[in-house]
Every structure is written in structure tokens, then in C-alpha cells.
Amino acid sequence: MPRLSAGRRHTVRVTLNGRAVEGEAEPRMLLTDFLRHVLGSTGTHVGCEHGVCGACTIDIDGAPARACLTLAVQADGATIRTVEGLAPEPGRLSVLQDAFRRHHALQCGFCTAGILMSLDIYLRDTPSPTEQDVREFLGGHLCRCTGYVPIVAAALDAAQKLRGVARDA
Amino acid sequence: MKPAKFDYLRAGSLAEAHEALAAEGPDASVIAGGQTLVPLLSMRMARPRLLVDIMHVEELSRISVQDNAIRVGAAVRQAALLGWPELAKRQPLLAHALPWIGHAQTRTRGTVCGSAALADPSAEIPLILVALRGEIELSSGKAKRRIAAADFFTGLMSTAREDHELVEAVRFPCAHHGEGHAFREFARRHGDFAIVACAAISDANGTRLAIGGVADRPLAQDFGTLDGSALDDALQDFAMELEAREDLNATAGQRRDLVRQIGRLTIEEARACRV
């Protein structure tokens, strides 16, 4: 790759929620801003912008990661999933999203996109977590509405349902 | 909070990374996982003219065992080392400490060597390197050198790395048979920066304790087989020597007290773990 000069925009190509997309970014542009302002995917939220709050957590190449701690140019060529990619079809929620609704695991919703992306990957890799496991994993996210209890309940409920789905398949 | 302008170079080879560092020296920064550097860029505490991304240099992404040490390349992410099947067997202390680095969501990107290179005084990787008498491999286009961790960390966020050098790998000595290890950390919440972090290694000859989060860099001391009030006195002296920092999280006095209390618990746990 040639040296990308400061102050100029360069083409960044990613696979976003299964679609090949591209946009222009200066080297200093954070991936959060690239997703929201360039690609128009505003489901990913920007909170603290230094990696603490977890609101911007997305799936980069199969692992949960902070979009605000990643430069758009670093992500060139990456496969990215965001909250917009969770629902199986318009009007239908994923198992995890549905559990969040039933358990009132959100109130203002600002932190929700990040937590959903984290948990979506976590439950794929850890199908039978304990409550303590879930709490430890959620340590990477801040929620100021719920007190976390309903989020933990939703995650455990979703895990159980997803295990059922996996068994039936 | 947006970074100032910089050029970006995705190095395709080690030679290309070395060349860029040689040409730009102090104006260049290496970026690996970015989990420490990107916040520094965003807060404009770092303003490099060029970022050299080393994550696509294949030879830097290896974990291997060489000369009875675990050699971790500069592009190895913390999560990858944590997932290395031989970790707990080769070096239990490292296996104990790695889950304390940041959060699961940052360990997926952050690298082991990046943590060493940026030398945050609260960071776990520098602490473990000092505790184990590990080494840092530095390389430039012209030369390679290996430096002991205790000599590499020179102060707050500063190291013995020259501007044209790359932290190419770090080496954690493997555990010896019969050693006991313990790691403890105190923070307001799990995943926050450590207010005090302790790592201890114990064998038949004695116990070594390293402390992070207190001085401007991790520091270690050997406590031999001291116990009882003699150990308390030695810990008290060590706590005073560390010249504790005061910040929003804790006063210097609180830090010294934590060194005495948690330091002792860590030493005792390491001794109890010996087989």
C-alpha cells in the first residue's frame, strides 16, 4: 500500500454487514466517524471516544472491538458487522434483540448497539456462560439506565434459546 | 476529540517498517492494535507526522518458544496470546495477568508489544516483563539488540527505544519447575487502570515481587524467605522507595498501604502455589 498522505481522502473498502462498500477517509478519521458520516450507518454510537464506554463496539473480522479506537484506514479490507446487521430481516428481531426487549434490557438505548454486538459474538463463542461470565464480559460496557441486571438476564435467556436453536438445527 | 493530521503507511514488510522509522525518526509512530495509541492521538497527547502500521507484516504475528522463553512478535494481539494453548503450562504468571488487561473488547485488538512499547506505568505487560526478568527485542534496518525489561522501562511512558527502532518482540522466560506464581490487582472496577498491581514469583531460594501502578514504571525487589514482621518491614521500605504517585484514583499514602497489604498477600499466595 502506498503512503496515504495527511489531509487527503483515500478510498477505504470494507465488507459491512455482508455488502462490499467503500468511502473516502483521511488517515486520521476514526472508524466510528467513517461508519456514521461516510457510510451513513448511524446505528453505531459514539460515547467517550477513548475506549472506555463501549457504545461503539462492533464486530471487526469476527471479534468485538472499539470502532473509536480504530482508524478507518486500518480497517481497509476488513469484514465488519454493526447493529444494523443483527436482525435476520426487516421487522424481525434477532434472538438476542428479542430477549433485550422482553427483559427491558435498555432504556435510553445509547449503549445498546455496542452491548448487542459484544454479546452477539460472545454467545457465539461461549454458548453456555455463567452469570458471572456474562457480568465479567459486560465489564467492557457502561450502561447508566438499567443497572445491568436486565441486560444479564437477557443475555442468559438468549443463550438458552440459542442453544435450543443449535440443538434443533 | 479527533486526532491531528498524519500520514499513514501500511508496512508490507519488516524492511519497509524499518525504512520508514529510519527516515522519519522522532516524527513517526508505530501503530499496532492502537488501543493505547489511538486515545493518545485523539486527545492530541501524541502528534506524529507519520503512522507506520505493522499489523500486516506476517513475520511479526508469531508466538514461539526460543531459549526457554516465550517470544511474542510485535503484531500478536493480547487475545491471541491469551488463547495460545501452551500459555498456562509455559508461564502461569502471564496466564494469570493477561485477563486483567483492559477489557475483552480491547484485548481483541491491543498487542502485547504495543503495551510494552508505550510503557504505561499501570500496564500489566511491562509489570510481568519486569517480574520475570523478560527481555525486549529492538530492531532497526541496521542492527538488532536485546535489552532487559528492567533497563528498557525508563520512566513514565518512556523507554530505552531509539526513535529509529521497532519493538520487534518481547520475551517472557518460561516458568521453572517448582515455582509458584501469583498476580493481584486493585482498581475501582475490573478493567480500569490498576491503582496497584502485584506479581510474585517464588522458588526455593526466595520470592520476587514486582509492583505496577505506583512508581513511574514497574519495579521489582527480591524478598528472599522473609516472613512475619521482617517481611512487613521490608515491604514498608519497598513501598517508600517506590515514591508513589498521587492522582484522581488514590493518594500516595493509599498506594503505599496497598503495596504493603496486597504485596504481602501476593507473596504469600506465590509461596503457597509452589509445588
Q: String of b and e for B180-189 (b: at least 16 CB within 10 Å)?
A: bbbbbbbbee
> How much is the pLDDT for A169?
64
Q: Given a cut of 70, is residue A96 above it in pLDDT?
A: yes
C-alpha cell of residue A47: 460515547
Domain segments of chain B as ranges: 7-53, 62-173, 182-272
pLDDT (mean) for A157-163: 97
- Beta carbons of B109 and A65 less than 8 Å apart: yes
3-state SS record for B219-254? EEEECCCCCHHHHHHHHHHHHHHCCCCCCCCCCHHH
**ipTM rounded to 2 decimals:** 0.95
pLDDT (mean) for A115-144: 97
Measure the CA–CA gap between B65 and B239, rounded to whole angstroms: 35
- Out of 3.90.950.20, 3.30.43.10, 3.40.50.740, 3.50.40.10, the CATH code matching B7-53 is 3.30.43.10
pLDDT tier at A110, thresholds 50, 70, 90: very high
User: Nearest-5° angle of CA A65, CA B103, CA B200?
Assistant: 140
Provide the pairing of β-strand B7-10 with B50-53. Answer: parallel
How far apart, in Å, do the first and last CA atoms of chain A sit? 43
- B182-272, what's its fold? Enolase-like; domain 1 (3.30.390)
pLDDT (mean) for A146-163: 97
Under 8 Å between Cβ of B257 and B235? no
Measure the CA–CA gap between B56 and B30, rounded to whole angstroms: 12
> How much is the pLDDT for A62?
97
The percentage of chain A sitting over the pLDDT mark of 70, rounded to a whole number, equals 99
How high is the mean pLDDT of chain A? 96
pLDDT tier at A1, thresholds 50, 70, 90: low
- B62-173, what's its fold? 3.30.465
Partner-chain residue, chosen from B39, B41, B103, that has the shortest CB–CB distance to A140: B103
> How much is the pLDDT for A2?
82
Tell me if residue A152 falls in helix, strand or coil: helix
Task: Judge whether B103 is closer than 8 Å to chain A, CB to CB.
Answer: yes
Partner-chain residue, chosen from A28, A51, A137, that has the shortest CB–CB distance to B39: A51
Q: Given a cut of 90, is residue B176 above it in pLDDT?
A: yes
Of B133, B255, B141, B147, the C-alpha closest to B193 is B255
Measure the CA–CA gap between B70 and B169, rounded to whole angstroms: 10
Q: What is the pLDDT of residues B107-164, one digit of tens each?
A: 999 999 999 999 999 999 999 999 999 999 999 999 999 999 999 999 999 999 999 9
Task: Judge whether A91 is closer than 8 Å to chain B, CB to CB.
Answer: no
Cα torsion B18, B20, B23, B25: sign? negative
- A95-168, what's its fold? DNA polymerase; domain 1 (1.10.150)
Q: Given a cut of 80, is residue B55 above it in pLDDT?
A: yes
- Which residues are CB-contacts of B208 (< 8 A; sequence separation ≥ 6)? B131, B200, B201, B202, B220, B221, B222, B223
Q: Where in chain A is the domain with CATH 3.10.20.30?
A: 10-85
Q: What is the pLDDT of residues A3-38, one digit of tens each?
A: 999 989 999 999 999 999 999 999 999 999 999 999
Measure the CA–CA gap between A84 and A43, rounded to whole angstroms: 6
Partner-chain residue, chosen from A3, A50, A137, that has the shortest CB–CB distance to B42: A50
Tell me if residue B123 falls in helix, strand or coil: coil
pLDDT (mean) for A87-116: 97
pLDDT (mean) for B49-65: 98
> How much is the pLDDT for B128?
98
- Beta carbons of B190 and A139 less than 8 Å apart: yes
Under 8 Å between Cβ of B177 and B146? no
- Beta carbons of B109 and A140 less than 8 Å apart: no
How many CB pairs lie under 8 A apart between chains A and B?
103
Under 8 Å between Cβ of A135 and A153? no
Amino acid code (one letter) for A94: S
pLDDT tier at B191, thresholds 50, 70, 90: confident
- Out of 3.40.50.300, 3.10.20.30, 2.40.50.140, 3.40.109.10, the CATH code matching A10-85 is 3.10.20.30
Q: Where in chain A is the domain with CATH 1.10.150.120?
A: 95-168
> How much is the pLDDT for A67?
98
Measure the CA–CA gap between B274 and B207, rounded to whole angstroms: 11
Q: How far is CA B10 from CA A43, B56, B97, B136, B224, in A?
A: 29, 7, 31, 23, 48
- Strands (E) across chain B are located at 7-10, 28-31, 50-53, 63-66, 69-73, 135-139, 144-148, 153-155, 158-159, 166-173, 180-186, 196-203, 206-212, 219-222
pLDDT (mean) for A122-129: 97
